[in-house]
Structure 1
Amino acid sequence: MPNQIERIITLSRIIGLGRGECDVAAIAAETSSSVKTVRRDIEAARRLGIPITDQVHAHGRKTYSIAVDALQRVNFCYDEAFAIMLCRGTATAFEGTSLGQAADAAFEKIEASLGTVAADYLATMLPKVHQRSVGGDYTQHGEIVDALMIGMESRKATFISYHSARSTEPVTYDIHPYAVAEHQGTLYVVGHSCEHHEIRTWKVERISDAEVTPVPFVRPAGFDIKTHMKGAFGVVSGQTPVTVRVRFTGSAARYAAEKLMHPSQQVVTATDGTAVATFRLTSTLEIKSWIQSFGPAAEVLEPEELQQEIIEELKQSLAQYESAEATK
């Protein structure tokens, strides 16, 4: 059975094609929904900003339409069209969900509306650009993503079954979903964990089930996803700010100077070719793996706790290799 997000997308399409002639009964028949559900979905669509208007006819019959001037026809210059179609190649985070399908339809409409000059330019230039598509396929998680979006929009507590990297079995959490974050093609949901009494981040691919409950929650007035993620190297943030300093040598030093990995990043290059990068974060979990990827070309200067973590992990790795070598 379609969830509310899917019904709203279908409802908007039906109303748009109906040119002001659709009433609740017709929409209900088309979507195999009840009249009550259609009315509820129309109100939800309006809250999402979809400009659905109504007109009352004789005998109280009400029909619905989407304002003609809601989406004006846009004429793109060739470089604008090129930029938009490049974005299509990277917009894979919602692939396999109803939102992803809507995005594909939107890109197809944009491409179909291009003028001859822009279309010819695209045909010439797009084959010359290689884009690597990264991230997961959310075809099997479409209903989960939609449930999380409904929970966020309606501000209703949501039960999720989550299989973390450390657990052997899925665990059920009662969460208040605040926002969805995308990082390198992977989706995460950020919200309040009722069990832990703190804001946490869950990887969508590890959620096997999501159910929106009737229980409302109050979203903190001061919560802003961009501010919350400010201290994260990727998507994992913490509570206590920490300064991370790393010395890079060789080609890694040049890479550190060229590549901006975090808004707080500051790099000082010395005359001997080394570079010291400084970051201001609230979690060292993700930056630790990044530092380790450089091997001996990266050395943690501070904090001492992170330095010791890496030392211990290197000792464990060395012990494993030595043990394997001894059994040969």
Structure 2
Amino acid sequence: MAAFNFTPSDPSTFILNGIPGLEAVHIWISIPFSMFYIISLLGNFTILFVVSKEQTLHKPMFLLLCMLALTDIGMSTCVMPKALCIFWFSSKSITVDGCLTQMFFLDVIIAMQSAILVTMALDRYVAICDPLRYATILTNARIAKLGLVGLIRAVLLILPMPLLLRRLPFCTNYVIPHTYCEHMAVVRISCGDTRVNRMYGLVITLVTIGLDLTLIGLSYGLIIKGVLRLSSKKAHGKAFNTCTAHICVMMMSYTPILFSTLTHRFGQDIAAHVHILLANLNLLVPPMLNPIIYGVKTKELREKVGKYTCRM
């Protein structure tokens, strides 16, 4: 009969606990978080506005920048409004459906961004190694189709994750020690068998990121091979300079994802508040810096942004 005292229940809400151990300084933590979020929105919406207004920027590279800006906005917006409500108003409750929805959209956006970075690597390869056929190989329509394929892939891969979580029982612990519904954080509070959930989450991360990094590495291997064939050192520098922004954005995007994924599963010695702070910064800092990096490194975009800035 004792077994009946441990009957799993179906919770209607979870509690997002914020950053465990740092509850007393939540209000202070919210200051840089909110600033990063505002800067991210301003930078990414500026890119979307300028590219939409300037006909000369209606090119594949800038279409990809707009896709990246949309994923950056979506990534930070999935997390920060609720996190700030926790910090400012102690509004910690979230419905189970709301939690799974947040997790689904966040993971889809991250997978979608990875696909965009792969397409950007392809864009750089064609621009450097086959510039004469660039306009015929990479049209706006083809870039849009590649973006749609990336979105479909992300949805199909991520959709099983909330569905698998929905079938798990939750007994007495409905408190998620996090500021948002991260997949492994939700898995850990279940009292059921979570082996399938853990394995699926890890496999999806490694397959998606691993495949995408392999394709990016292949693109850059071909780029390096093509650049080394050029006789002029000036041409070498110009070719590599066109890749600098993409490399910076790629490193900022993939390094935190891999770090967060691996430490969540294998980094038991890392303090919870350190992990959660880093997880939040991973969703705030890259979206804030990406438009700055591309604004500085892309002359056409920099000039158009300057034109609109001078009008204000």
Normalized per residue, which structure has more helix? 2
TM-score, normalised on structure 2?
Answer: 0.24
Q: RCO (CA 8 Å, sep 6+): is it higher in 1 or 2?
A: 2
Greater C-alpha Rg: 1
TM-score, normalised on structure 1?
Answer: 0.23
Normalized per residue, which structure has more strand? 1
